Amino acid sequence: MINRRRVLPGIVLALTMCCALQPALAQNGSADSIKIPFETYKLPNGLTVIMSVDKTIPTVAVDIWYHVGSKNEMPGRTGFAHLFEHVMFTGSGHIPYGLHDKYTEGVGGGNNGSTSNDRTNYYETIPANYLETALWLESDRMGYLLDTLDIAKLNAQRDVVKNERRQSYDNQPYGRVSEIFAAAMYPKGHPYSWPVIGSMTDLSAASEEDVKAFFRLYYAPNNATLAIVGDFDPAEAKKLVQKYFGDLPQGKAVERPSVPLGKLDASKRLVYEDRVQVPRLYLQWPTVGFKRDDNYALDVMSSILSGTRTARLTKALVYDSQLASQVFAFQNSSEDVGVFQVTVVPRPEHSLTELEAAVDQVIQKFLAEGPTPEELQKAKSGMELSFLRGLESNLGKANQLISGSMFYGNAAQFRTDYEKTLAVTAADVKRVAAMYLGRPRIVLSVVPKGKKDQASKAAESEAVSMLNRRGGKS
């Protein structure tokens, strides 16, 4: 269980942002339960601090996000932000390797880190009396990581990350789909055109100097937000934050170049042969990132199209025509870009070409008529429950508060998200459906080895020529 740690959830962020937006009731618009008590302040060195007390159980979550992810990497050094995340667990100036685990999992708590396109986070969940220990651990690697970093440590983690890539992508049926889409959706060199895990070749290329430069630029207090959530005394905690983080020097301001949205001039049809027995059809349209208001309507649209048996795609493909055994639709949004994706698993006797036509039929009808009032209400009805359930976890609250603070400058963004989702109208959904699903898209067929003819419109589909990144022998 625990050993799947330091997993790389490229989707973590999407989940934090979108899943507050799962189906939910609130037809009377009352959102009194949508609150998290918190306070926030900034240290002179630029570190943003958020505190939220919850004494339900005697534990504390210490969570820190750095505003750096795979999009800050350079082509040729992909996978670097995530590799770096691993390096952060190898000890720092005053803390030898192993102590971090000893004072977290070894005292009944836990720790982990994760990397997405946009940010990297680290956390400790500990018994309440270990708060100071956790702040000591986190501050030392923010301030003194490079003191003890050497090439041996880097190489050891490089091997682990390559194994992570093998396990989560290469040895996973359909595991390379996100990577194929990223490369097809964005022009070469675009910050979202490579996968968070990176390529085997690039992982091998990272040098000790790369690591150091990356750290100096991005792992400074002014590029980080710290949250403490759980059973603690805020006055005492503020003193501890000052004690451990107050003397860390401010870093250079981080430049944030504007990143263009994905845009396709014409639709693309791709086919990829994988070690699978059941083919799958994937459709992807470029949309917007989570900071654009259209994202709210796109989320609502995804609940109307799939996720329940009466959702449009599910009802049509899985229940009525029974062409498919499963179908999923979702808006996957990052800070700067987003995509809307539909995934279809066929029943054996039906071709991907048939499925694509069936998906299109549902979408065309939806574009023409938009959602019904009942569909809209169902899509919003689960929001309150899923928000409340999120409040059961200190770490969940910490992530919620930090993401608001980091991406919007507003830790209470969860409330805005809630209200803006409630405010989505049928006209909004109809508009975004037409605007995004009416545009060119990428159609990807994943088929068994040697069965390219099973692709949707096989004759028009281009084989995906991924570089051989399995890198097994390198």
38 Rama class: left (phi>0) / alpha (psi -120 to 50) / beta? beta
Map the footprint of another protein across residues 130-149, applying CB under 8 A.
Answer: 130, 132-133, 136, 140, 143-144, 147-148
Query: Among residue numbers 445 through 474, which ones bind another protein (CB under 8 A)?
Result: 470, 472-473
Q: Which of residues 22-81 bind another protein (CB under 8 A)?
A: 23-25, 33, 44-45, 56-59
Segment 305 to 344, residues that bind another protein, using CB under 8 A: 308-310, 315, 318-319, 322, 325-326
| Cα 438 to Cα 365: distance, rounded to the nearest angstrom | 12
Q: Which stretch binds another protein (CB under 8 A): 212-220, 221-229, 247-255, 438-446?
A: 247-255
Taking CB under 8 A as the binding criterion, the range among 154-162, 260-268, 282-290, 453-461 that sits at the site for another protein is 154-162
Going by DSSP bridges, is the β-strand pair 39-42/110-115 parallel, antiparallel, or unpaired? unpaired
Interaction between residue 204 and another protein (CB under 8 A) = no
Asked if residue 105 binds another protein (CB under 8 A), the reply is: yes
Nearer to another protein, 393 or 425 (CB): 393
Backbone dihedral angles phi then psi of residue 141, each to the nearest 5 degrees: -80, -20
Nearest to 449 by CA among 306, 275, 313, 281: 275
Residues 220-239 that bind another protein (CB under 8 A): 231
Q: Which of 113-121, 153-161, 189-197, 365-373 is the region at the interface with another protein (rule: CB under 8 A)?
A: 153-161
Which of 41, 76, 151, 163 lies at the binding interface for another protein (CB under 8 A)? 163
Q: Which residues pair with 62 in a beta bridge?
A: 124, 228
**Applying CB under 8 A, does 188 fall inside the site for another protein?**
no
Q: Which of 37, 348, 409, 450 binds another protein (CB under 8 A)?
A: 348
Stretch that binds another protein, among 68-76, 286-294, 377-385, 426-434 (CB under 8 A): 377-385
- Judged by beta carbon, residue 103 or residue 214, the one nearer another protein is 103
From the list 76, 98, 187, 440, which residue makes contact with another protein (rule: CB under 8 A)?
Answer: 98
Decide the pairing of beta strands 268-274 and 442-448. parallel
Instruction: Tell me which of 217, 276, 426, 458 binds another protein, using CB under 8 A.
Output: 276
- Give yes or no for residue 246 binding another protein (CB under 8 A): yes
- The region of 184-192, 243-251, 365-373, 403-411 touching another protein under the rule CB under 8 A is 243-251
Q: Does 347 bind another protein (CB under 8 A)?
A: yes
Nearer to another protein, 9 or 127 (CB): 127
212 sits near another protein (criterion: CB under 8 A): no
Q: How far is the CB of 303 from another protein (least distance, A)?
A: 9
Task: Tell me how many residues contact another protein (CB under 8 A).
Answer: 97
